[in-house]
């Protein structure tokens, strides 16, 4: 690498539904001047092409969102297409990837897993989508189960069980969004950018 050329940065953030990864990923990308890409957003674009209408908040947990999830289980081409696009961006660098698959499929980068209990994720999802905690827990259980099956069938890894690709596992159960963001900024500064803490 020539002098003065910036090191290409790739940060992958993953975690189960309701852990807060999307919000923090967007903020990290903005802070460090990186592109932000979301696997979920890319899948929604494919869903629109198929005639779905994923415009409301919490669409993945709606009846239509679950229908698309089942469609993905039956035909893996949607997920493969999205993952191919994300891999191309990862190889270019200078990107924050909010993705369930990139920690396993992309061999480089700095990878973070957000660990949150079902109870905490349920509470966050209910607040975000304006639904009851019972509805939120049912949605989380169904989405988690089907999403795990999709990626195990496609790639052979166990989402939420295999943490081998990750550089950092961050327990977010007792942290709010701001605390998670500030913690990650400290980690990125030190471990990704190599900045030394000021005395």
Indicate whether 14 belongs to any domain: yes
CATH number, domain with residue 63: 3.40.50.300
What does DSSP assign to residue 129?
H
Number of domains in the chain: 1
Q: Place 4 in a pLDDT band, splitting at 50, 70 and 90.
A: very low
Q: Place 198 in a pLDDT band, splitting at 50, 70 and 90.
A: low
Contact between 116 and 16 under an 8 Å Cβ cutoff? The reply is yes
The domain in which residue 73 lies consists of: 10-192
Nearest to 65 by CA among 77, 48, 79, 82: 48
Q: Which residues contact 119 (CB under 8 A, 6 or more apart)?
A: none
Question: What percent of the chain lies above the pLDDT cut of 90?
Answer: 67
What pLDDT does 167 receive?
Answer: 97
Indicate whether 5 belongs to any domain: no
Is pLDDT above 80 for 199? no
Q: Kindly report, residue by residue over 97-126, the tens digit of the pLDDT.
A: 999 999 999 999 999 999 999 999 999 999
Return the higher-pLDDT residue of 57 and 153: 153
Indicate whether 197 belongs to any domain: no
Is pLDDT above 60 for 1? no
What pLDDT does 128 receive?
Answer: 86
The pTM for the full model equals: 0.88
Q: Place 2 in a pLDDT band, splitting at 50, 70 and 90.
A: very low
Q: Kindly report, residue by residue over 41-94, the tens digit of the pLDDT.
A: 888 888 888 888 887 777 887 888 888 888 888 888 889 999 999 999 999 999
> CA-to-CA distance for 163 and 23, rounded, in angstroms?
22
> CA-to-CA distance for 199 and 131, rounded, in angstroms?
47
Q: Compute the Cα dihedral for 131, 135, 137, 141 and give only its sign.
A: negative
Q: Which residues contact 48 (CB under 8 A, 6 or more apart)?
A: 54
Indicate whether 1 belongs to any domain: no
Mean pLDDT for 5-17 is 87
Nearest to 138 by CA among 114, 124, 122: 122
């Amino acid at each position: 690498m020539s002098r003065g050329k910036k090191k290409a940065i790739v940060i992958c953030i993953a975690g189960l539904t309701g852990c807060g990864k999307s919000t923090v990923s967007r903020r990290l990308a903005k802070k460090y001047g990186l592109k932000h890409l979301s696997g979920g957003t890319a899948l929604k674009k494919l869903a629109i092409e198929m005639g779905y209408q994923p415009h409301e908040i919490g669409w993945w947990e709606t009846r239509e969102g679950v229908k698309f999830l089942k469609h993905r289980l039956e035909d893996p081409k949607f997920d493969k297409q999205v993952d191919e696009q994300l891999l191309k961006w990862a190889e270019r660098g200078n990107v924050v990837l909010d993705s369930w698959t990139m920690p396993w499929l992309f061999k480089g980068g700095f990878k973070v897993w957000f660990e949150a209990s079902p109870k905490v994720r349920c509470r966050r999802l209910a607040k975000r989508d304006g639904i009851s905690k019972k509805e939120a827990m049912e949605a989380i259980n169904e989405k988690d189960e089907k999403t795990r099956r999709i990626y195990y069938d496609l790639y052979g890894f166990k989402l939420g069980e295999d943490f081998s690709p990750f550089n950092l596992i961050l327990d977010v159960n007792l942290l709010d969004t701001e605390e998670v963001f500030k913690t990650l900024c400290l980690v990125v500064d030190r471990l990704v950018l190599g900045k030394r803490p000021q005395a």
